[in-house]
Amino acid sequence: MHRDQTTAAGGTPVRRPPAPGGTAGDAPVGPLAGFTVGVTAARRADELGALLRRRGAEVMHAPALRIVPLADDSELLAATKHLLDHAPDVVVATTAIGFRGWVEAADGWGLGEALLDRLRGVRLLARGPKVRGAIRAAGLTEEWSPASESMAEVLDRLLEEGVDGRRIAVQLHGEPLPGFVESLRAGGAEVVGVPVYRWMPPEDIGPVDRLLDATVARALDAVTFTSAPAAASLLDRAEQRGMREELLDALRHDVLPACVGPVTALPLEAHAIPTSQPERFRLGPLVQLLCHELPGRVRPLPVAGRRLEIRGHAAVVDGELRTVPPAGMALLRTLARRPGWVVSRAELLRALPGSGRDEHAVETAMARLRTALGAPKLIQTVVKRGYRLALDPAADTKYTDGPGADKH
């Protein structure tokens, strides 16, 4: 078990739920236990999903885009032939996987050696160390690479040198490069885009629609984005379904949008959606960000001598993860909005999904909730009035102040 899987928010150990009819195990579960995370990535989705599951999360995968196979990409072939016929002065390589894919695709078209010969005769700039490694693996040598891995630094260097009248090829990789191409053209350069890994809508839109529905219903705790086109595609699909405003509201207030970096976040932030981003723009730090952010949103409650946390689709009681049915979670969340205050059966009935008008449904769901929690005394029945969380008398007043609520 990884060390970062052993504690929840505040360092409290979280234990695995007991097997049916058994007692709770001692093995700790991950910091994302109880949470459900949406993954919109097409490339490296399996890796991201595995990292999330290893830390206890449930994962809903819905690739918002698909990558056009390089060998079938007529635009990449046309750009490659153009560069062979019209030598560029500078080639900017932006990603290792993109550069390798370009060379491999050219080789498949019978143009591999010609492309490498052309690249040997130009100034070759690499965005960072990974790209530099891919260039050298192809038998080439870069002229320069920024230590920061920043395209802004590449742009500054080119503009300082002067680009007027130069032909500059930029290996694109599906991500927008805000201002990069425009600034070069404004400086007088002819810019040739090399569209490696173009994005298109997914062939099966069903998973995307299910992710949208789950986001709007707040059945997800977070949605991850590893490319700007995926974020834009999700927003476009919501627009097509007439649910864009509902999606924006969910992402602004309840479902955490986690982006691998600032470029990826641009389509979301253009709609005033605040995003969370790791300091290092990699999958590992993105997962660690979620491990910090999601448990940090949970407000622990001191209830009946126990410590209660409500996490996504589950509850944590004294560090033990307890899976709760959807109806029970609806009741628990309603009670937790005003812990210690009586909530009427009528209000709890309204919180139950598809329950109709029969208050007996509340009693049934409440009995199942108490069983799932494994601590029936957490929820008290107030005769003829309703139910309440048995908040400890010594609890901070921030837990007991509830306007319009009835406390005794």
Q: How many CA atoms lie within 13 A of 67 on its CB side?
A: 20
pLDDT for 10 equals 38
Each residue's pLDDT tens digit, 202-234: 999 999 999 999 999 999 999 999 988 899 999
pLDDT 10s digits, 62-78: 999 988 777 778 889 99
Give the class (CATH, top level) of 70-197: alpha beta
The interaxial angle of helices 45-54 and 283-296, nearest 10 deg, is 40
What average pLDDT does range 84-98 have in this prediction? Answer: 93
Question: Measured between alpha carbons, how far is 248 from 194 in angstroms, rounded to an integer?
Answer: 33
The amino acid at 40: T
- What is the fold, at CATH topology level, of the domain defined by 301-399? Arc Repressor Mutant, subunit A (1.10.10)
Phi-psi bin for 109: left (phi > 0), alpha (psi -120 to 50), beta?
A: alpha
Query: Mean pLDDT across the chain, nearest whole number?
Result: 86
Residue at 253: amino acid letter:
H
Residue 176: count other Cβ atoms within 10 Å of its Cβ: 16
Tell me the pLDDT tens digit for each residue of 128-155.
Answer: 888 999 999 999 999 999 988 788 899 9
Residue 177 has pLDDT above 80, yes or no: no
Helices (H), 22-73: 45-54
Question: Token digits for 333?
Answer: 């969340």
- Provide the pLDDT for residue 358: 74
CATH 3.40.50.10090 residue ranges of the chain are 31-66+202-296, 70-197
Stretch among 1-15, 276-290, 334-348, 382-396 having the lowest mean pLDDT: 1-15
pTM of the model: 0.72
Contacts 24+ apart (CB under 8 A), 276-280: none
Q: Which residue has the tokens 């952010």?
A: 293
CA end-to-end distance (rounded Å), the chain: 45
Q: Residue 401's pLDDT is what?
A: 43
In 3D space, the residue among 383, 370, 299, 395 whose CA is nearest the CA of residue 342 turns out to be: 383
Point out which residues pair with 15 in neighbouring strands. Answer: 28, 320
Token pair for 335: 């009670």
DSSP letter for 7, please: B
Give the Cα separation of 308 and 302 in Å (integer): 6
Q: What is the DSSP letter of 124?
A: E
Give the residue from 63, 64, 60, 16 showing the smallest Cα distance to 320. 16
> Per-residue pLDDT for 396 more than 80?
no
With a cut of 70, say whether residue 14 has pLDDT above it: no
CATH topology of domain 31-66+202-296: Rossmann fold (3.40.50)
Structure tokens at 183: 């600034």
Confidence tier at 47 by pLDDT (50, 70, 90): very high
DSSP string, 273-337: ---B--SS-SHHHHHHHHHHHHHHT---EEETTEEEEEETTEEEETTEEEE--HHHHHHHHHHHH
Q: Where in the chain is the domain with CATH 1.10.10.10?
A: 301-399
Q: Are 306 and 299 in contact (CB under 8 A)?
A: no
pLDDT band at 393 (very low <50, low <70, confident <90, very high): confident
Give residue 114's pLDDT band: very low, low, confident or very high (50, 70, 90): very high
Whether pLDDT at 186 is above 90: yes
Average pLDDT on 352-380 reads 86
